[in-house]
Structure formats: structure tokens, C-alpha cells
């Protein structure tokens, strides 16, 4: 397993969750993998697909996403292909013949391809060890990007005669969506692998500015040497912002559903191949991009739900380097999404669910709590929380109220209860309320009953949430328990601060930089990568990611042996790409 990873992809160890998912696939079990955006989901089916005989079928939602994946696999010396509507009959026939000869290791198709009887007949003749559902949240009606074709293809996949495993992969699935996917794909609860949604290289920021256009123009000018995506809610806003960039001589491209296929493809290629640094887009640009060195994603408008926001913001920093995710928010954004929901042709249950998601999105823009922890809590309510210390809420000096005494009262109350209880019961006891349940448990006899009677329910919810988000309290299925770290508080070795209620905040937004990199060498290596990209007609990041180039610029490897030890350098890339980079590094060192 590790040998395959190292040989083809240049990594010595797996990221969290990857090895567990691959092991289940090798054991011929259906599995659901929920990994963060940029967490290496594709490795989860690519490694077992290389280890098993036959052709792995990958069901993917977008033509552009298929092309990116196939280009990257081909760049690593792996035979992959796709079949989609953008191809000529001659091109499709050539791929079909390769499939019949057993030459294709990975075949990418959209779910609609299974409507073609000839294609299904072709599949029946192949050796298929694995079927992968990429972007699996599209399967669920409750997912943020539901596609009926993803549901309809499931029974056609199960009707194939081969005995294959199934893997479903997603980054943005709530607990409800995860259950739906597992039910539809016959995945056992024990075969779900989830890792934290945390991505510590992403710095989340909310900026309620009234001068959105000025903010974006200033930010892009300050970060002109890095790539970024700016999402707008409407085509009109995309066009207006693009014009503003042109007026300021800022080179950018646009992407929305109103453009022709050729125009959209040109825009994507210009961005992926580093011909332009900035793309202004609607969410039509969502899953269709796989560019690892995006240093910032700015949302010009608030999305309608946190799944969409996290999916789009997660396009930043997929190479693991520090990147900004900035949400510009205005109250007017709320009205737009309420209108979208009201005119939707969906049933009332679905509209209600979208309304609930919008409420959660609005709460994210207004919370004073850690933004990263807020996202983690939304996707996995039972996960232990901690403050990231880098989002706009964490770094803003607005937590001036010392709540250490209140924290001790709350912890003392929880510790005295005969069993683990929920938020509501704890608050009722602290406020001195009585109910049949409180009397039955003798909670009205506790010394902490009524200890905080002067606090409102809202006050206590705020204080308990603060302790939860700081990791002093843990939650599992809405039941609160004390974490071991509360001992520090009770022993007077720590203090807890929170925000005074209803205090407005403003934060200064800045991008983090990576230290220890020889910037001049890094720029030369990027130029080499660009030359190779144009020569080989593959995307720059398919050759080497920014992360790998930065490692080159830090370590200055002198031989292929030095290079193979760096993440992202596999055997194929070592042979075909590294000589030119080594030559550049040696020449650079000679001039110093």
C-alpha cells in the first residue's frame, strides 16, 4: 500500500483516514469516506485501483473535474481516461477500444453515461474491482448540491454483474447526509471513515464591510503574485467586478453558466495554467476546479448554506500551505437567498430544510466564537472543539469579559449531577427552575440549583457555548460532559474570557506567509514549471504543487536521491520532470 503511494504519488505516509478507507476496499467492503476538502480523497480510490486488477470506474459530476483528474493521473504515468459529451465519436471509440484491451486503469464518467445502453453493455465485458462515487453528497436530497442523476445511477451500478467494492467520498456531508448515502449504497455504519473537517492551513475570516468592491480591489492588488478565486452570487456581480478589475489594470477571468462551453473551458484553463491569477465566478465554478495553489478564496456574497461555503472556501490551500478564506457579508444577502427558496419548485419539506441551512449560515456570519470550530461543530456535532487562534474572531481583541467565576459555577453544577445531561437541563438547574424531571433527579436539592438565577437562558447558553468551543466541555449526542482540562480552571491555573454581548467588531485581514523559503529560487522553479506545463500541455500543479516547489526552495536538493525524499515526488515524476529542476537549483546555487 505504502509502496504504491510512494511510487506513483511521491508520499511516504498516508493522511488521516486514507489508509483505513483503502484497507476496507482491499477487504472488499463498501465504504464511505468523509475527508476535508484537500484531504486527499482521490488517493482513497486511486491507490487501491492501482493495486487491484482491472478498471476502476469513477462516477464524477463535472466534465472539467474529470479532465483535471485524468490529466493528473496521466502526468504521474498512470493510464486514465474519461468518456463524456465533450468528445468526438472517434475519441470515444478509441477509449472504448482501450477499455476492451484492458489498458485503462481508471475510467471517469458522469452518472448520465449509464443511460447509454451501449456503454452499460461495454462495462459488463470489463474486469471492475471498484466503483467510486466522487462528490458523494450529490447523492442525497439533503446535500447542498443534490443531483437526481446521482441517485438514479445507483441501481444501474448494482445491476452490473461484476463483484466490486464501492467507495463514496465527500468533504461536505452533514450527519443526515452521511446516513442517507450509506443507506442508498448499502454501507455498514462500521464502514464509515470520518476525519476532522479542520484544515489548519486555512484562515477563516468574516468581514461585514459596506465597501465590498474596494476591499476586493485592495486585497487583490496586495496579493497580485498569488492565485485566488472570488465567488459572487449572480452573473451580473461577476461581470461588474470583472469590469472593475479591468479599470484597475488587474488581469482576471470570469466563469458563470451564461458563458459558452468554450468560454468556460478557456477561463478555467487560463486559471489552472497560471495565465491569470484571479477568477471571478458564480458557484458554477464549484467542483470543477482542482488547482492546489489557490492562496485565497473571497466570497463577495454570503452563500445559502455552510456546506456550499465550506466546499467553495476549501478550494484554497489544497497543497497544505497557509491561505485565506474571507466571507464578505451584508444583510442584503439574506433577502436574496430567502427569495431563491421562496421561488424554488421544491416541496415544502425541502424548502424548510433550506431555510434551516440559511439560518445556520447567517449565524456563522454573526458569531463571536471561533469560526473554524463553528464549521467543525456544524459538520460533526460530537467532535471535541478547540479555538483555532487564527480566524478573525480568535485574533480580534474583543474577548474582554472575564467569565472564570461563571465557568467554575457551570462546571461545578455539571459535576454534581447524578448523570450526564443536556444543555437545557443544566441551564434550568443553574437558573433555579423546577420541573418534574428536576425534582425526580433531586437536582433541586443541589447546592448549585439557582446558583446563576440572575442570568438569562440566553446568557447561560452563551457562557456554556464559550466553554464548549474552548474545549472545556465536550458534547456527544447533545449531552455535555466535562473535559479533563477543567482541572486547570478549578485549580485557578487558567482564566476564561468571552465577548461582551452585542458588541460590534472589525478585523484587519491579512494573509499568512511561509517562512524559510528562498523566494528567488522559488520564482525560478515556478518559471521552469510553467515552461514544462506549456511544453507538455498539462497544468502546472499536475507537475509539482507549490508545496513541493517550496520544499525544493527550502532544501535545495542536489540529487535525485534528495528529491525522492520530498513529498510529491514519485518515481515517474523523478524520471521525467526532476532533471530540469535539479539543473535550475544547481545553477542557482552556483551564482550565490
193-208 per-position pLDDT tens digit: 998 888 889 999 999 8
| Between residues 581 and 492, the one the model is more confident about | 581
- Whether 489 contacts 403, CB under 8 Å: no
- Whether 61 contacts 84, CB under 8 Å: no
| The CATH classification of domain 519-591, taken from the options 1.10.3720.10, 3.10.105.10, 3.40.50.620, 1.10.150.80 | 1.10.150.80
- Where do the CATH 1.10.150.80 domains begin and end in the chain? 519-591
Closest CA to 154 of 184, 191, 109, 177: 184
User: What DSSP designation does 422 have?
Assistant: E
Q: Which residues contact 327 (CB under 8 A, 6 or more apart)?
A: 204, 205, 206, 207, 299, 302, 309, 313, 364, 365
Asked if the model's pLDDT at residue 409 lies above 90, the reply is yes
- Whether 458 contacts 496, CB under 8 Å: no
Which segment of 89-103, 264-278, 299-313, 344-358 scores lowest on mean pLDDT? 344-358
Q: What is the pTM of this model?
A: 0.79
- Structure confidence at residue 511 (pLDDT): 36
Task: Report the C-alpha gap between 551 and 309 in whole angstroms.
Answer: 30
Closest CA to 376 of 171, 230, 191: 171
Instruction: Give the whole-number percent of the chain exceeding pLDDT 90.
Output: 49
- Where do the CATH 3.40.50.300 domains begin and end in the chain? 2-194, 202-387
Asked if the model's pLDDT at residue 82 lies above 90, the reply is yes
- Structure confidence at residue 215 (pLDDT): 94
| Most confident residue range from 31-45, 240-254, 515-529 | 240-254
- Structure confidence at residue 503 (pLDDT): 39
Task: Report the C-alpha gap between 293 and 547 in whole angstroms.
Answer: 8
340, containing H or E segment: helix 331-343
Vertex 60: Cα angle to 111 and 372 (nearest 5): 130
Instruction: Give the whole-number percent of the chain exceeding pLDDT 70.
Output: 96
Q: What is the CA 90 to chain-centroid distance, rounded?
A: 37
Using H for helix, E for strand and C for coil, what is the string for 147-168? CHHHHHHHHHHHCCCCCCEEEE
Helix 404-416 with 423-430: angle, nearest 10 deg: 110
Asked if the model's pLDDT at residue 101 lies above 70, the reply is yes
Task: Report the C-alpha gap between 491 and 483 in whole angstroms.
Answer: 14
- Structure confidence at residue 198 (pLDDT): 86
114-131 per-position pLDDT tens digit: 999 999 999 999 999 999
21-56 per-position pLDDT tens digit: 999 999 999 999 998 876 688 999 999 999 999 999
Task: Report the C-alpha gap between 303 and 232 in whole angstroms.
Answer: 9
- Whether 231 contacts 300, CB under 8 Å: yes
- Whether 539 contacts 533, CB under 8 Å: yes
Vertex 363: Cα angle to 358 and 366 (nearest 5): 135
Residue-level length of the chain: 592
- Structure confidence at residue 501 (pLDDT): 53
Fold of 401-498: Arc Repressor Mutant, subunit A (1.10.10)
- Whether 313 contacts 325, CB under 8 Å: yes
- Structure confidence at residue 289 (pLDDT): 67
Asked if the model's pLDDT at residue 105 lies above 60, the reply is yes
Phi-psi region of 478 (alpha: psi -120 to 50; beta: other; left: phi over 0): left
- Where do the CATH 1.10.10.10 domains begin and end in the chain? 401-498
264-300 per-position pLDDT tens digit: 888 888 998 889 999 999 887 765 566 889 999 999 9
Asked: is 202-387 a CATH 3.40.50.300 domain? The reply is yes
| The CATH classification of domain 2-194, taken from the options 1.20.210.10, 3.40.50.300, 3.30.70.1170, 3.40.50.150 | 3.40.50.300
**Alpha carbon distances (Å) from 528 to 123, 350, 578, 579:** 41, 51, 11, 11
Which segment of 271-275, 530-534, 566-570 scores lowest on mean pLDDT? 566-570
Asked if the model's pLDDT at residue 502 lies above 70, the reply is no
Over residues 383-408, the mean pLDDT reads: 88
140-191 per-position pLDDT tens digit: 888 777 888 888 999 999 999 999 999 999 988 888 899 999 999 999 999 9
DSSP string, 315-335: TTTTTSS-EEEEEE--HHHHH
Amino acid at each position: 500500500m505504502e509502496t504504491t503511494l510512494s511510487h506513483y504519488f511521491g508520499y511516504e505516509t498516508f493522511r488521516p483516514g486514507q489508509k483505513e478507507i483503502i484497507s476496507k476496499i482491499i477487504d472488499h467492503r463498501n465504504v464511505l469516506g468523509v475527508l476535508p476538502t484537500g484531504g486527499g480523497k482521490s488517493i482513497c480510490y486511486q491507490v487501491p485501483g492501482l493495486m487491484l486488477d482491472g478498471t476502476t470506474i469513477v462516477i464524477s459530476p463535472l466534465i472539467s473535474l474529470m479532465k483535471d483528474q485524468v490529466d493528473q493521473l496521466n502526468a504521474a504515468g498512470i493510464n486514465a481516461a474519461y468518456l463524456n459529451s465533450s468528445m468526438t465519436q472517434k475519441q470515444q471509440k478509441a477509449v472504448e477500444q482501450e477499455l476492451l484491451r484492458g489498458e485503462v486503469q481508471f475510467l471517469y464518467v458522469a452518472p448520465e453515461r449509464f443511460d447509454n445502453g451501449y456503454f452499460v453493455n461495454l462495462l459488463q465485458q470489463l474486469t471492475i474491482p471498484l466503483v467510486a462515487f466522487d462528490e458523494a453528497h450529490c447523492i442525497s436530497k439533503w446535500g447542498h448540491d443534490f443531483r437526481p442523476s446521482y441517485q438514479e445511477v445507483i441501481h444501474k451500478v448494482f445491476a452490473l454483474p461484476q463483484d466490486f467494492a464501492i467507495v463514496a467520498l465527500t468533504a461536505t456531508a452533514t450527519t443526515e447526509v452521511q446516513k442517507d448515502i450509506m443507506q442508498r449504497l448499502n454501507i455498514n455504519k462500521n464502514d464509515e471513515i470520518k476525519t476532522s473537517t479542520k484544515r489548519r492551513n486555512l484562515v477563516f475570516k468574516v468581514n461585514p464591510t459596506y465597501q465590498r468592491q474596494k476591499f476586493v480591489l485592495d486585497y487583490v492588488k496586495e496579493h497580485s503574485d498569488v492565485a485566488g478565486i472570488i465567488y459572487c452570487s449572480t452573473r451580473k456581480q461577476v461581470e461588474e467586478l470583472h469590469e472593475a478589475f479591468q479599470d484597475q489594470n488587474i488581469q482576471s477571468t470570469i466563469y458563470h453558466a451564461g458563458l459558452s462551453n468554450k468560454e468556460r473551458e478557456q477561463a478555467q484553463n487560463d486559471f489552472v495554467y497560471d495565465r491569470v491569477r484571479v477568477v471571478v465566478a458564480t458557484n458554477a465554478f464549484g467542483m470543477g476546479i482542482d488547482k492546489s495553489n489557490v492562496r485565497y478564496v473571497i466570497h463577495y456574497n454570503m452563500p445559502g448554506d455552510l456546506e456550499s461555503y465550506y466546499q467553495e472556501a476549501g478550494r484554497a490551500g489544497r497543497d497544505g500551505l497557509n491561505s485565506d478564506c474571507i466571507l464578505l457579508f451584508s444583510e442584503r444577502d439574506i433577502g436574496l437567498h430567502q427569495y431563491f427558496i421562496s421561488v424554488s419548485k421544491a416541496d415544502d419539506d425541502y424548502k424548510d430544510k433550506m431555510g434551516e441551512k440559511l439560518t445556520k449560515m447567517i449565524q456563522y456570519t454573526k458569531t463571536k466564537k471561533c469560526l473554524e470550530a463553528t464549521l467543525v461543530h456544524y459538520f460533526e456535532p460530537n467532535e471535541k472543539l478547540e479555538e483555532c487562534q487564527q480566524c478573525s474572531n480568535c485574533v480580534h481583541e474583543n474577548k474582554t469579559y472575564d467569565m472564570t467565576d461563571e465557568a467554575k459555577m457551570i462546571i461545578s453544577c455539571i459535576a454534581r449531577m447524578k448523570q450526564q445531561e443536556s444543555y437545557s437541563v443544566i441551564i434550568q438547574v443553574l437558573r433555579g427552575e423546577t420541573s418534574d424531571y428536576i425534582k425526580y433527579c433531586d437536582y433541586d436539592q443541589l447546592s448549585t440549583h439557582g446558583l446563576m438565577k440572575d442570568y438569562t437562558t440566553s446568557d447561560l447558553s452563551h457562557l456554556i457555548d464559550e466553554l464548549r468551543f474552548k474545549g472545556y466541555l465536550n458534547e456527544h449526542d447533545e449531552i455535555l460532559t466535562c473535559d479533563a482540562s477543567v482541572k486547570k480552571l478549578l485549580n485557578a491555573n487558567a482564566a476564561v474570557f468571552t465577548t461582551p454581548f452585542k458588541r460590534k467588531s472589525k478585523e484587519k485581514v491579512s494573509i499568512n506567509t511561509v517562512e524559510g523559503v528562498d523566494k528567488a529560487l522559488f520564482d525560478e522553479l515556478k518559471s521552469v514549471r510553467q515552461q514544462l506545463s506549456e511544453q507538455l500541455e498539462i497544468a502546472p500543479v499536475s507537475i509539482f504543487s507549490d508545496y513541493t516547489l517550496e520544499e525544493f526552495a527550502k532544501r535545495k536538493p542536489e540529487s535525485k536521491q534528495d528529491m525522492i525524499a520530498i513529498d510529491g515526488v514519485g518515481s515517474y515524476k523523478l524520471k521525467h520532470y526532476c532533471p530540469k529542476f535539479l539543473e535550475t537549483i544547481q545553477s542557482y546555487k552556483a551564482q550565490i
